[in-house]
Amino acid sequence: MSKHLFWIALALMLNACSKGKGDNGGGDGGNPGPGTNPGNGNVQLGTGVVYFDWATEGISKVDLNTGVKARALIYNTRRNGWDISRDNTLLLEVTDHPDDYDAELYTITNIKDNTIVSRFKKNSGYANHTFPTLSYDKTLIVVPPTDDDGIMILDLQGKILLNLISFQGKKLTESVEWMPDNTLLFRLENSLYRTNKEMTAATLVKTFNFASWGNFAVSPDGSKIALNAGNHTWMMNADGNNLTQITESDYIEVMPVFSPDSKRLLIGYDFTRTGDWGRYWKMAIIPADYGKYNVNTNADKRVIPFVPKGETSVQASDGIMLWR
């Protein structure tokens, strides 16, 4: 109950602060600006559906053709991770197993008719929560490393096809992302590597000189990689060349997500911590064209604050964001 009250208070506080700053979606003089109705305002944001976590609202979605916000999944304290296939047909949801503290329940559901495609128990280890993602062709699941396992590849029935614990003699502990061709990008210390399709070898993509970096994402066409470093968003070619800073602000930017056509990025900005574990950010859309965009409030009209239709405050998120 206390957790619920905390999130309700946080949501009310964020809404009040947004209104107090006159942050109404990027418009001037209090008028709604581009992006107030995503995909249906003055700037075309592309097509598809944006999904995101926020507080006790659960998982919400906004259809960019209409700008309408709706609930995709109700709030569930037992939910750990979730993903949606690139063609927006399958939902992968991970919840605590009801009868085994060391396990999780993986459920794959057909979004159109809500039928269960697959459900299986995965032993994730004591208190380990996992955040798996579906491959582009919907045949495989990758599970990022935990305290007990390395990078795991599963089929849709839960069979373990690979458990890559170390690389070059070093334990794998960082994030991993699918490439469109079913190869993987994974992080080891300050470097990013790409596997072959057989997952038997990997080559260096880029070694970074940043003090800290992460949240890397791959464009659906496989040509670009976006990541956060030095409090801002950067982008480079998939081969590691042309590393370019693409955001600037007085804020911290996080969680870049490419649009389905690879032409835009959904980003989190104004990253705010709320204690040891809590954090949230506001959402905006920028072009993914290697230009630099200032995401300070009202500083750059090319930056589109993410405001669902009928609302007046920029939408916030505190977890997974997807664009399908």
Summarised one tens digit per residue, pLDDT across range 45-55 is 668 999 999 99
Interatomic CA distance for residues 69 and 86, integer angstroms: 20
Amino acid at 241: N
Interatomic CA distance for residues 255 and 226, integer angstroms: 9
Low-confidence winner among 29-43, 115-129, 197-211 (lowest mean pLDDT): 29-43
The pLDDT of residue 306 is: 96
Cα–Cα distances (Å) from 228 to 193, 210, 256, in that order, read: 17, 10, 8
Q: Which of 69, 70, 67, 68 is nearest to 39 (CA)?
A: 67
Cα–Cα distances (Å) from 35 to 11, 57, 142, 283, 320, in that order, read: 21, 21, 34, 11, 21
The pLDDT of residue 12 is: 37
Residue 136 clears pLDDT 70, i.e. is over it: yes
Residue 255 clears pLDDT 60, i.e. is over it: yes
Which band of pLDDT confidence, cut at 50, 70 and 90, is reported for residue 92?
Answer: very high
Fold of 2-323: Neuraminidase (2.120.10)
Mean pLDDT of the chain: 88
Is residue 87 within 8 Å of 73, Cβ to Cβ? no
Residue 273 clears pLDDT 70, i.e. is over it: yes
Q: Stretch 26-42: mean pLDDT, rounded? A: 38
Spell out the domain ranges in the chain.
2-323
Residue 281 clears pLDDT 90, i.e. is over it: yes
Tally Cβ neighbours within 10 Å of residue 235: 23
Residue 288 clears pLDDT 90, i.e. is over it: yes
The alpha carbon dihedral of 138, 320, 296, 243 has a sign of: negative
Which band of pLDDT confidence, cut at 50, 70 and 90, is reported for residue 204?
Answer: very high
* pTM of the predicted structure, to 2 decimals: 0.85
The token pair at 209 is 């000189």
User: Do you know the residue count of the chain?
Assistant: 324
The pLDDT of residue 45 is: 62
Residue 24 clears pLDDT 90, i.e. is over it: no
Q: Which of 287, 147, 315 is nearest to 219 (CA)?
A: 287
Backbone angles phi, psi at 307, to 5 degrees: -125, 110
Q: Stretch 109-134: mean pLDDT, rounded? A: 93
